[in-house]
Amino acid sequence: MTETDKKRGQTVVGIGSALIDILIRENEDFLKKARVLKGGMVYVDSQFIEYMLTQTPSKPSVVPGGSACNTLIGIGNLGGSARFAGKRGADALGEFFEAGLKSNQVEPVLLKSPSPTGRVLSIITPDAQRSMLTCLGASSEITAAEIKDEYFKDAAIVHIEGYLLFNREVLLAVMNSAKRCGARVSLDLANFTVVESAKDFLETLIADFVDILIANEDEARVFTGHSDETEAIKSLSEKAEFAVLKVGKRGSFISHEGSIIKIPAAGTGGVVDTTGAGDLWASGFLFGLVKGYPLEICGKIASLCGYEVCRVVGASIPQEGWERIRKEL
């Protein structure tokens, strides 16, 4: 840990969409009806989500969600200081979302809107891949003027989900505010469809603001143009102080100061759903960074979190999973 790190606070602050995850198990024909590529994400209205729910016999699971939210919940469960900022509806789903943060040791900083709380229909296919239909609802209404420096008090890291690239004014307000407060900025590229839509803007944004860049192999391929994982992590490493490439069951790579570390996967057996795997990987990694652990240990914690969430449906690791993680540590 450097002297600059010691002067920073200990909190990880997440900014993103306050969403409710609706999880169903379905086959690939259902994805065709939903008009979404496997592993991809499309924006839809709430009526389309309701319609697709009438087309499945699968009983949905409903949990608080959103990429940055998932990451902060993981940090809270690891015992880290976590805060999430976003906008929810003034409705029952919004109350459910906020209660979910508090029960997972995450401080909520939530603006409210008369619009409904946002929802995501996550479709889990038999190969454990998840594809998403997203209705942002109230979460899309947050404005740059509503971003306050006070959200980032005592922040060591401000973690931003790539989906915020669709609201560039807010994204830039968050990054400027984070830098004024002396925090590192972490950006998770979130989804290859997001990267495809914002590649040119991303190049400039990362160069100007991002200290920690996190991508999976699909996102990295679209962003760097490299399918080879060695070339992809080298390319990512040129763009940020810390660069991460996640390659699923093959593990992950972490780059820092010209050195690339290979992190093995924590396990491969018993995988039922990849929802939240990348988000929870980020939980472990950012938690370790704030604690000042060596990168190998940060990567190990990340892999443990990413694996445990794949052993259940949805992005919430149950208590027995957290107990296994703590035992390993």
- Using alpha carbons, list the distances in angstroms from residue 280 to 103, 275, 309: 17, 9, 7
Give how far the C-alpha of residue 59 lies from the chain's centroid of Cα atoms, to the nearest Å: 25
Burial 16-46 (b: 16+ CB within 10 A, else e): bbbbbbbbbbbeeebbeebebeebbbeebee
Domain ranges in the chain are: 3-16+67-109+144-328
Q: Kindly report the pTM of this predicted structure.
A: 0.90
pLDDT in tens, 55-92: 999 899 898 889 999 999 999 999 999 999 999 999 99
The CA-based dihedral angle spanning residues 56, 61, 62, 64, taken in that order and rounded to the nearest 10 degrees: -130
Q: Over the Cα atoms of the chain, what is R_g?
A: 18
Residue 2 has what pLDDT?
55
Please tell me the predicted confidence (pLDDT) of residue 269: 85
Question: What parts of the chain have a pLDDT lower than 70?
Answer: 1-8
Q: What is the pLDDT of residues 120-151, one digit of tens each?
A: 999 999 998 889 999 999 999 999 999 999 99
**Under CATH, what is the fold of the domain 3-16+67-109+144-328?**
UDP-N-acetylmuramoyl-L-alanine:D-glutamate ligase (3.40.1190)
In 173-266 the beta strands, taken as DSSP E runs, fall at 184-188, 212-216, 242-246, 252-256, 259-263
Task: Tell me which residue has tokens 């790539």.
Answer: 162
H or E segment to which residue 84 belongs? strand 81-89
Start-to-end CA distance of the chain, whole Å, equals 19
Per the CB < 8 A criterion, the answer to whether 128 and 159 are in contact is no
